[in-house]
Structure 1
Amino acid sequence: MTSRVYRVMHRTRYTYNDDVSSSYGRCYLTPRELPGQRVHSAVVEIEPEPDDRSTGVDVYGNQDSYFHVRTAHRELTVTAHSVVEVDPVDQGLVLGPARTPWESARPAAVGTREARLAAEFVLDLDPPEITPAVREYAAQVFTPGRPLVEAVTDLTTRIYTDFTYRSGATAISTRVDTVMRRREGVCQDFARVAIACLRSLGLAARYESGYLATDPPPGQEKVFGADASHAWAAVWLPDDRWLAFDPTNDKLVDERHVTLAWGRDYDDVPPLRGVIYTDSTKSQIDVSVDVSPIEDPADGLGDRADSPESGAAR
């Protein structure tokens, strides 16, 4: 298989019924540079023009953008454009270390420097997400001595089968225990269920955000802006690689996935978060995402290549 190149657009528009005098924002909208992923161009455009903005790299290596708009406004639009090339995953290289018993992938059992760094991703959240229901669900999959890749693949399929994808069924604040009880949610819920299961067993797991290239139904043209941000999970391997998997789609992450950022949970890498000062009593948010394959990375560069600036699919 060959590499795939995508032009990605992610637009978030906030509207208010009164003036906003000041708006502070932080966003994770710039794809990561990875061994199997190359960012050919990336820019984040903000309207109104910020009075102050900067970019940085967080503790997990993600690029984030800060901005402060002091111009009075009733609409704020943040648009990220990027051109990203993604390679097919070398399953032999990644899955080799994952064929050992899952117990051997516990950072506590490995003892290397890399394992000590990965141990952060074993810790539960606050408030806790590892509940008796999570432990019971994980124990059905991770039986003693089972190869890690086999168990992770089984967990991926079980979540896909046992949980119903339903947009609007949950909110960002919905707890894993609630999702376990209702057996429905969206991509970030299923990723967080998988992460809680892995951590309940002493395995290191992280939350990954990005996009999934989707194809329109047969006979229909692709609708610009009809895609969505996506999320999946990854488990740490003893050779310090991570095996990424997508419970929403019952598959391992491949060249259709564009990685934006990762952390311990969604709260570490929200696409956009901020604070506003206003007397407005009503607001509305509209999000539009488009992931379009292109033949040549240069086709997507345009005028944005020279810019200094570089959030459920099923």
Structure 2
Amino acid sequence: MRYRVSHRTTYSYDDDVSSSFGLAHCRPRELPWQHVASREVSIDPVPSDIADDVDCYGNIVSYFHVTEPHMRLTINALSDVTVTPTEYDADALLEPWERARPILHPGISRGAWAATEFALESPKARHVDAAREYAAASLTPGRPIGEAVTDLMHRIKTDFHYDKTATTVTSTVADVIEKRAGVCQDFAHLALACLRSHGMAARYVSGYLATRPPAGKPRLVGADASHAWVAAWIPGSDQWLAFDPTNDQWVADRHVTVAWGRDYGDVPPVKGVIFTEAKKSTLRVAVDVAPLEEYSQG
């Protein structure tokens, strides 16, 4: 499926900002299952310095420095992306989940060394006892990797309620488990804590999800949003099984991958530092993932 992705982030302030340093993860990755025909980022006011780099996980990061005084900063990213569903090695998915623990089995495959970091605890996906206990019902002895991960995904969707008011950016995995509610970022961190606390390697993935309206209804422009999901390492093939606990589905051609890391802290869409006397600021984000044919007609 081919998409035109638009992601606009706007910061407004009640006083001039004299200097703004920032970095953005908003350029989709080129991957075996994802082709990026174009990707561009524009910033208003125009930065005095802007550059792209590749971080240690292979993500494209845009760095910028705006020195023109401003009361509004807009980062606008546009991309043309084609996504195809990933085909997984069926035999590898049948391997016991216990083999997907690179720290215990460092020689099991060529990719084990790279997966090791994603089996460790990270700041936003702590290995709390409640997460380990919750995961145990899915990670039963000898259960196939694909089946175990899918069962955990199903249970998170069933047991946890999507609620934008239940958590904040500072909420922890323990908070999410206690409230049994959260948003996609929370459910991704929960899944990470569940798998990693049992030794499995899994990474946090950020990107976009194209929404599809009910039959006969037009797709709402702007209804899409930044999204987060998880990918679990499969040692038999060194693939990563990407799954979306928020929507209870394996990732396919509706998900556009931007970046991945240990957790949200590694790949926020935009973050930075400003110099200002402003006492109040607002943030507005608008994301649209449109099938390219529809975008052209509009």
Is TM more than 0.5 here?
yes
CA change 1:229–1:46 in 2 (3 A) is same
**Structure 2 CA distance for partners of 1:167 and 1:7, relative to 1, 3 Å:** same
CA spacing shift, 1:149–1:127, aligned 2, 3 Å: closer
Q: Deviations over 1:97-123 (max 9, x none)?
A: 111111112112251442122111111
* Residues 296 and 164 of structure 1, relative CA distance in 2, 3 Å threshold: closer
Tell me, yes or no, if structure 1 residue 294 matches structure 2 residue 292: yes
- Partners of 1:73 and 1:55 in 2: how far apart? 23
Aligned equivalent of 1:308: none
Q: 1:128 to 1:6 in 2, by over 3 A?
A: closer
CA contact (8 A) 2:166 2:179 kept: no
Any gaps of 5 or more consecutive residues in structure 1? 301-314
1:116 is aligned to 113
CA distance in 1, matches of 2:95, 2:220: 44
2:111 counterpart SS class: helix
Higher share in helix: 1
Select which of 92, 95, 102 maps to 1:97: 92
Amino acid at match of 1:117: A
Structural mapping, 1:76-225, within 5 Å:
76-90=73-87, 93-107=88-102, 108-111=104-107, 112-126=109-123, 129-225=126-222
* Coordinate RMSD, CA, aligned: 1.6
Structure 2: how far apart are the matches of 1:115 and 1:274? 34
For residues 55-114 of structure 1, give each alpha carbon's deviation from its aligned partner in whole angstroms, at most 9, with x where no partner exists: 000000000000000000000000100000011222xx3443111111112112251442
- Report the number of matched residues: 294
The amino acid that maps onto 1:259 is T
Separation in structure 1 between the aligned mates of residue 113 and residue 245 of structure 2, nearest angstrom:
27
Counterpart CA distance in 2 for 1:294 and 1:96 is: 35
In the alignment, does 2:60 pair up with 1:59? no
1:128/1:215 CA distance change after superposition, 3 Å: closer
1:250 aligns with 2:248: yes
> 1:226: Cα distance to partner?
2.0
The aligned counterpart of 1:283 is: 281
Q: Cα gap change, 1:75/1:269 in structure 2, threshold over 3 Å: closer, same or farther?
A: same
Question: Which one-letter code corresponds to 2:105 in the other structure?
Answer: A
TM-score scaled by structure 2? 0.95
For each residue in 1:177-213, what CA deviation from the matched residue of structure 2 results, as whole angstroms up to 9, or x when unmatched? 1001100000010011001111011110100000111
Q: Secondary structure at the match of 1:141?
A: coil
Mapped to 1, the partners of 2:278 and 2:46 lie a distance apart of 21
Partner AA of 2:75 in structure 1? V
CA apart distance, 1:125: 1.8
Report whether the alignment pairs 1:33 with 2:30.
yes
Matched, 1:14 2:16: no
TM-score normalised by length of structure 1: 0.90
Aligned partners of 1:128 and 1:258: how far apart in 2?
23
What letter is aligned with 2:270? Answer: L
Task: Report if aligned partners of 2:125, 2:190 keep a CA contact under 8 Å in 1.
Answer: no
Q: Percent identity?
A: 55
User: What per-residue deviation string (whole Å, max 9, x for no partner) do you get for residues 16-51 of structure 1?
Assistant: 000000001100000000001000000001000000
Query: For the Cα contact (< 8 Å) 2:124–2:264, is it kept in 1?
Result: no
